Each structure stands twice: as C-alpha cells, then as structure tokens.
Amino acid sequence: MNEVGGKHETPAPTTSWDSMSVPQGPPIPITHENIQQVMVPVPIKMQPPPNLNPMMEHGNPMQQGPMTPHGVQMGGSYIDHELPPELIQQGWRKFWSKRENRPYYWNRASGESLWDMPQGSGFDPIGDPLGICAGPPPPHTPNMNMPPQPMKRRASEGMAMGAPLPKKFILSGPWDLEIPTNVIILERAPTSMPQPHPEIELFRCNLTNKLRHLLQDMCHSREGIDAPHESFNRWLMERKVIDTGSDPLLPSQCYPEISPCMYREIMNDIPLKLKKPKYTGDARKQLSKYAEAAKKLIESRNANSESRKVVKWNAEDTFLWLRKTVGATYDDFQERLNHLKTQCQPHLTETVKDSVEKICLKIQHLSTEHAKKIRDKNSDLLTANGIQEPPPPPSTLNSRKVWCYPIQFSTPSCRMPSIEYHPDKEQIMLRFQNDTVTVNSLHFQKLEHLYRYSCFDDKKFELFLPRVWCLLKRYTTFLGQVTAQSGKTQASLPGPRYTTFLGQVTAQSGKTQASLPGPVFECLNKHFGVTFECFASPLNCYFRQYCSMFPDTDSYFGSRGPILDLKAVSGSFQAHPPYCEELMEATVGHFEHLLADSPEPLSFIVFVPDFRDPSPSALVKLEASHFKRKQVVVPAFEHEFRIGVQPFVTNK
C-alpha cells in the first residue's frame, strides 16, 4: 500500500493484459517526485498497438513524440501510426486538438500546420529541400470536383489547456500601464466630434499659433508689456470650462466673451511685471522701474485729472525717497513698492480698462471665426469621403453603470494620408507636408502600448502614425515652442507649498503639463487604490486610464475625455489640475456633486498649491468641504514634479 500525501491508494484490479507471462526479475524501484500536474478538461485515452511491450506502459524518455509549434509536449495526443510513411518522412505529424476536438497536422521541418491531411510533395524537405532529386510533378488535369485546398490552421488554435501563455511585454518607464481600472461610470453616448485628420489638425494648429502671436503683439503695442507667461494656455483652459462649441481646441461659444482670467493676468502686469527680487540691489532697481513706468503710463493715456495727480505725486515721492535714503534694506524696498502699488494700481486699472477689454474681445472673436473655418473645412472633408455628419446624440440615456471606457466616435474615420516615419537613436520624427513633429523613442513606444489597449477600430495599426502625428501636433501647439532650455527651466522652478486632501485631493504645478513623480503614484495605488488620473495626457499619464483636455486626439490612447464630463459612480481618483482658478473651482464643484450623488465608494485625492493672501476659491472650498477626510501640506523645496516637455526633449 502506497501512502502519498496522507492518502491511501487501493491497487488497481488485475487485467488479462497484466497477467501475461513476463520474465520475473527484481522489482523496479519507484521514486515519487513532485511532478506538476496539468489539468486537461477532456482527457484522451489512446489505445496502444498490439505489439507494444508492456514495459513501455510508463513511457520511454528516449522515445517521445515531437513538440508542437508552441513548444508543448503533447504526450498521448501524438498520433504517429495513422500517417502514410511518405508524409512521416517529409516531417508531418498528426496531433489531436483538445479545444476543437479534431485532429490537425503539423510539419516539424517547416512549422506549417493544417486541419486537413496534406498532399504528398514527392521530396524530403530535410535531405532534399529544393526537390532536385524528386521526379517531375504529374501533369495537371482539370477536375471540376477537385477537393478544396487544405485550410491553414491558426497558431492560437489547438493549444493545450495547460500550455503556457505567450510572454507579455511590459514597457518600463515612469508609468505602470498594466494596472486595470476600478472606476465605474454611467454610460454615455458617442461623441459627435469628427475624428482627427492630419490636414485638419495642421490647419487648426496654424490658426492657433497665429492667435497666440496676435496676443503677444497686442499686449506689446497697446500696453507696452509682454503677454503674461502661459496666459494663452490658461485662457484656453478657462474658456473650455464654459464653452459649448464644437471645436476641441479653440473656444467658440463662451459667455461672457471677456475672459476674466486673461483680463486679470494682463492687468496684473501693468505697468510692469513684478518679480520677487533676489538681492537688495534688484529690489531697489525694481522699485525705480515701477515708479517710472507708472508715471509714463498715466501721462500717455487719457486719464482723469485726479488719477493723473495721484500717480504722478506718488512716483515723484518715490524718486525723492530713493535719492535721500542710504543703506535701505531689502524689506524697506519691498515695503515701499507695495505702498506705491497700493496707491497707484486702482488709478492705472481704471485708465487702461477699456484697452485691456478690447484685447480680450479681439482674441475671443478671432477664435470664434477660426473655429467656424475649421468646422467648414471638416464638413468638406467628410463630404469628399462620402461621410454624412451624424445627428446630435440623444439628450437622455439609460443610466447604466459600466466600467470606464475611452471616448467613442459616432462618425467614421476619413481616409488618412501617409505619414513619413524617420527613427533616430533617441527620437522619432513624423513628417506630414513638410511639418515635422518629434517625440522620444520611449514615449513613442508608450503610445504604441496605449493604442493597443484602447483603440478598437484599428487592430492592424494602419492608422497609428497619422493619429500619433495629430496628437503630437496638438500638444506641441498647446505648449508653444518646446526647447530643451524651457524644459530645464520648468524642472528647476522652486514651487510653493502644496496641499493634499484625502477623500478629495488637490495638487497643481506651475506648468500645465507637469505631473507627479512615479513613487507618488505607486503610493497612491498601493495605499488608496488609485487607478485613474483626472488631469493627464497620453504623454505624461501614469495609468492607462485617465481624463485629458482633448478627447478627439487622446481617445485612441486611453483618454476618457474631460473630467468635467465624466459621471463617475465609484472608484479612486487622483486629481492634479493645472493652475487655472476657474478650472480648479469648477473641478471642486464637480467632485462634490459626484460625491453627493453616489452611494458607492468614491474618493478623490487632489493636489493644489497652498497659495495664501489671498487663497484661491478652490482651496477655500476644499478646506470647508464636509467630504474632506485629511489635509497634508508639503513644504516648499521638499517636493518635485516631472517636467511637462519631457516627451519632446532628449536626455542631453
């Protein structure tokens, strides 16, 4: 009696086959090894041939059947005696497919597999691979009842149930694209937005660049200042909060037409953009420049007499103080500058108010005109491809809960032009009509992975390069001019303190495309179950599911659209909104609305700057929210971000 694993085995009954006369000898020692068992749902019992030696019942290790194309030893499923000797000599073997429940044929010399028995080729592929020694082929005689040619068998068919799966390639980098989502949303209708096309995208980006340059020219010619840094990007984000137009980039239907974000930023730089001085000499020089600029502005404009009198008197008083004061400290100059600005700024604002409002109106009206031109060009392209514009989506849908999925289109894709592909050592260049975009090789591979996960209408990657070109062109236009120096500057900026809220979370970098470091995302996923980013892009995302600003170009790479349009029911989110006060405030309101409506587990970890004096309204709302569970302040110079232009610059 054998005792294996604490269980008793009863000996099998003796059969007539076992009772045949066999020479007696010493018993064969049997060693019990830990043999890994493979569970097969449909076991197949092969009858041994009559002349089989009884000692071969356990198999001879020196005489095993051939391996399948997948490297799996089939054991008893190998059927050798049913093939003609001619086919066996050519390398053909017959196996049994447990999944399809029928035999198939595999050639171990050529690797070919067929469902039907192959025809004899008349030569040995091993000894005579070219068929030189074989006789001439038989003459062809037409036969109307000729049997069909053998159907080729797919490599994935007939695999044993216990066979190992093919190795999965995981791309290493500052991301983890293998984490599945735990976010459930309400089902939504496909977007009526047309799918991106390189020709349309090039036209849109050229118009956007003209609009950006126009803002700089008007600020310089009318107000004597440069356009505030990244003010155009923040204007795009602020307008998209209230925009009801159809263009994914340019706002076209916004009310009020005067952007409070652009108006506020331009007004803050009049008459001079103030910076925090590093040395005492810089503080003295900035005070002198501000007084001179304020006096020059009030004298060159049609200001009322009271404003002119107050500004000129304070400017002259500042010049007198600078001439008389010797050995003033850094704080003295800063205090004097704050006093001068407090006295003069209201009068300067009243003087230039009409001029600044005209700048904001001009930008908004031109954006509306550009959006109309793009829409007309898109309609012409759809007509040329025989595609009708889809009807508007239904106003109401069944409130069905589904796992979050990328944005879907109701309009089919137009015929795509060819994109030139030029790989380099560290970068990939894509060219369309002499317009070249560049991306790092690692981020290009990341886009391939995201496309494979999220794109369902192009499994053969036939439209991959045109869609990548549209994506890169959109983001290079949105970011403006991208250089290695700008990336370095962005990385070295010392940020303010940041506040983190758990249960709702806020964070923000000074740049629109900066993101959190990888270890922070690992911690959020490990301890809080975060699997979703509320503000990301295909280029800087950590998870493969995220929300982004541009649903049309980003949807093929996993984007769920803008976060303000996402109706989440459950899940754990990370939110790092760009520093745009209107967008941050709308985001906080959207999160509170979702938390109030959902009875299921739902959390937001938000990162926002801890600005004070005054505090942004979004920060005030977060601190007063009854959904807040925890607040953490990270001091300045103790945190860092990944630069936003990282996908476009080399390591050098």
On whether residue 223 sits in a domain, the answer given is yes
State the burial class of residue 611 (Cβ atoms within 10 Å of its Cβ: 0-12, 13-18, 19+).
middle
> Is residue 508 pLDDT above 50, yes or no?
no
pTM over 0.75: no
Say if residue 100's pLDDT is above 90.
Answer: no
Say yes or no: 213 and 113 in one domain.
no
Provide the percentage of residues in the chain whose pLDDT is more than 70: 74
Q: Does the structure show a pLDDT above 60 at 56?
A: no
605 and 488 housed in the same domain: yes
Cα–Cα distance for residue pair 393/66, rounded to 1 Å: 58
pLDDT at 205: 96
More confident residue, 125 or 174: 174
Report which of residues 291 and 8 the model is more confident about: 291
Same structural domain, 258 and 342: yes
pLDDT for 134 equals: 53
At 214 the pLDDT is 97
User: Is residue 602 in a domain?
Assistant: yes
**228 and 118 part of one domain:** no
Residue 170 vs residue 78, higher pLDDT: 170
* 639 and 526 both lie in a single domain: yes
Higher pLDDT, 248 or 88: 248
Choice between 16 and 482, residue whose per-residue pLDDT is larger? 482
Tokens at 256, concatenated: 């009020």
Q: Which residues of 326-351 are buried (b: 16+ CB within 10 A; e: fewer)?
A: eebeeebbbebbeebbebbbebbeeb
| Residue among 227, 211, 241, 233 nearest 509 (CA) | 233
* pLDDT per position as a tens digit, 114-162: 888 887 655 555 556 555 555 555 554 444 444 444 454 444 444 444 4
Cα 23 to Cα 21: distance, rounded to the nearest angstrom: 7
On whether both 78 and 211 belong to a single domain, the answer is no
pLDDT at 399: 79
For residues 339 and 503, the model is more confident at 339
Cα gap 335→332, rounded to integer Å: 5
> Looking at the structure, do residues 85 and 220 belong to the same domain, yes or no?
no
Q: Which residue do the tokens 């008007």 mark?
A: 218
Mean pLDDT confidence for 507-534:
82
Residues 370 and 500 in one domain: no
Of 381, 403, 436, which residue constitutes the final position of a domain?
A: 381
Q: Is the pLDDT of residue 410 over 70?
A: yes
Q: Mark whether 366 and 514 lie in a shared domain.
A: no
Does residue 652 or residue 350 have the better pLDDT? 350
Mean pLDDT for 55-82 is 44
Assess whether 363 and 222 both reside in one domain: yes
Whether 133 is covered by a domain: the verdict is: no
Max mean pLDDT among 29-38, 42-51, 94-103 falls in 94-103
Instruction: Point out the domain boundary residue: 350, 381, 412.
Output: 381
Q: What local confidence, expressed as pLDDT, does residue 328 receive?
A: 93
Backbone angles phi, psi at 517, to 5 degrees: -65, 160
**Residues 215, 217, 221, 225: is their CA dihedral positive or negative?**
positive
Highest mean pLDDT among 88-92, 95-99, 217-221: 217-221
Note whether residue 10 is domain-resident.
no
For the residues 82-90, what does the mean pLDDT come to? 81
pLDDT at 215: 96
Whether 83 contacts 75, CB under 8 Å: no
Average of pLDDT values for 541-566? 96
Q: How much is the mean pLDDT over the chain?
A: 80
Residues 134 and 128: beta-carbon distance below 8 Å: yes
What is the domain extent for residue 620?
A: 484-648
Evaluate whether residue 178 is within a structural domain.
Answer: no
Do 118 and 250 sit in the same domain of this protein? no
Q: Is the pLDDT of residue 450 over 50?
A: yes
Q: How many domains does the chain have?
A: 3
Domain boundary among 381, 400, 419: 381
Whether pLDDT at 288 is above 80:
yes
With respect to residue 494, please indicate whether it lies within any of the assigned structural domains. yes
Q: Is the model's pLDDT at 17 over the cut of 50?
A: no
Q: Is residue 606 part of a domain?
A: yes
Give the pLDDT score at 396.
61
- In this structure, of 21-30, 425-434, 635-644, the range with the lowest mean pLDDT score is 21-30
Match 């967008």 to its residue by tokens: 583
Checking DSSP bridges between strand 568-575 and strand 184-186, what pairing results, if any? antiparallel
Please give the residue that has the higher pLDDT: either 391 or 334: 334
**pLDDT on residue 612:** 86
Residue 639: band (very low, low, confident or very high) from pLDDT cuts 50, 70, 90? confident
CA–CA dist 448, 463 (Å, integer): 12
The closest alpha carbon to 65, from 88, 43, 32, 40, belongs to 88
More confident residue, 315 or 151: 315
With respect to residue 548, please indicate whether it lies within any of the assigned structural domains: yes
Asked whether residue 83 falls in the same domain as residue 208, the answer is: no
